[in-house]
Amino acid sequence: MESVHLSDRAVIALEGPEARAFLQGLVTNDLDQLAPGHGLYAALLGPQGKILFDFFIAEGDGAVLLDCQVSSAEALIRKLKLYRLRARIEIAPRLQLSVYAGLTGRPAERAITFADPRLAALGPRSIGAVAEMPADLPGPAIYHAARLELGVPEGGDFGSDRIFALDGGLDELHAIAFGKGCYIGQELTARMKHRGTARKRLLTVSADAALPTAGDIMAGDSAIGELVASYGSKGFALVRLDRLEASTGKIEVAQIPVALTKPAWLD
């Protein structure tokens, strides 16, 4: 993928001696695995194990940095501050930093660059000072087309407090460390993992017409899932895999014929 500026992402900095320990008790991944040149993908869940926020975690610029969706940055900061209590950390946006994908050469070296921890096919991801990065890079559309082709959901595809971490594919996308200690939503997530009760998955949807923003996925007269995000004629649907396998009728949403595809990384 060519170099792009992910201008729809924001960077939040957590500074202080307790920043790592603070996040370790909140998020799904293991902060002990965070190292220079190695970023993490993680989520903050609600008490019932549903995704509130997903983000990347990197270390640099004197802080632990969260690369998150611009539209959810303020809400994420408020939630982190709510949990901060007496922890010795400062939480604030780093407006001079921005997020990039596919950077190589000198720009990548000047930034905090790491392989996308979800899929190698998504290439390198970087957090860098806007003043030091190329100013003529294209925006995020190319990146989102690539991840949609690969069937990788993120941000708004999950919604807020709507989809369980395992239903969203966060295990397969390397966002969950089952060997670490407790975090918010850990008990239910671990139970779903060990009992094998996660029956739903986010699948890619494609059609020959523009998709609605939401709607039931129907196989004949039976609902087998729901459309949760759409981008023109493509999108993501949360689908009951057992109902999909048993279905025999034409698959539609809002009377539009659609095809459902299970991403290769889910196999």
196: confidence class by pLDDT, cuts 50, 70, 90: confident
3-state secondary structure of 41: strand
71: confidence class by pLDDT, cuts 50, 70, 90: very high
Question: What would the DSSP string read from start to end of 121-143?
Answer: GG-EEEEEEGGGS-TT---THHH
High-pLDDT (> 70) share of the chain, %: 99
- Kindly report, residue by residue over 215-254, the tens digit of the pLDDT: 999 998 899 999 999 999 999 999 999 999 888 889 999 9
Does residue 60 or residue 176 have the better pLDDT? 176
108: confidence class by pLDDT, cuts 50, 70, 90: very high
Question: What would the DSSP string read from start to end of 51-112?
Answer: EEEEEEEEEETTEEEEEEEGGGHHHHHHHHHHHHTT-S-EEEE-TTEEEEES--HHHHHHSE
What domains are there in the chain, each with its CATH number? 4-157 (3.30.1360.120), 199-266 (2.40.30.110)
Q: Is 94 exposed, middle or buried (0-12, 13-18, 19+ CB in 10 A)?
A: middle
85: confidence class by pLDDT, cuts 50, 70, 90: confident
Q: What pLDDT does residue 1 have?
A: 73
Angle at 38 between CA 159 and CA 182, to 5 degrees: 55
Q: What pLDDT does residue 97 have?
A: 97
Q: What pLDDT does residue 181 have?
A: 87
How many Å apart are CA 180 and CA 199, to the nearest integer? 24
Burial call 238-253: b when 16+ CB within 10 Å, e when fewer:
bbbbebbeebeeebbb
Q: What pLDDT does residue 168 have?
A: 96
Q: What pLDDT does residue 249 have?
A: 80
- Kindly report, residue by residue over 127-182, the tens digit of the pLDDT: 999 999 999 999 999 999 999 999 999 999 999 999 999 999 999 999 999 999 89
Q: What is the DSSP code (8-state) at residue 250?
A: P
Quick one: tokens of 190?
A: 């671990």
Mean pLDDT on 189-193: 92
CA distances from 15 to 21, 41, 53, 92 (A): 12, 19, 20, 9
3-state secondary structure of 29: coil
- pTM more than 0.75: yes
How many Å apart are CA 65 and CA 203, to the nearest integer? 30
Q: What pLDDT does residue 125 have?
A: 98
Q: What pLDDT does residue 247 have?
A: 86
- pLDDT at 22 exceeding the cut of 80: yes
- pLDDT at 211 exceeding the cut of 70: yes
- Helix (H), strand (E) at residue 40: strand 40-45
- Contact indicator for 114, 38 with CB cutoff of 8 Å: yes
Q: What pLDDT does residue 198 have?
A: 67
Mean pLDDT on 114-131: 97
Q: Is 181 exposed, middle or buried (0-12, 13-18, 19+ CB in 10 A)?
A: exposed
Mean per-residue pLDDT of the chain:
95
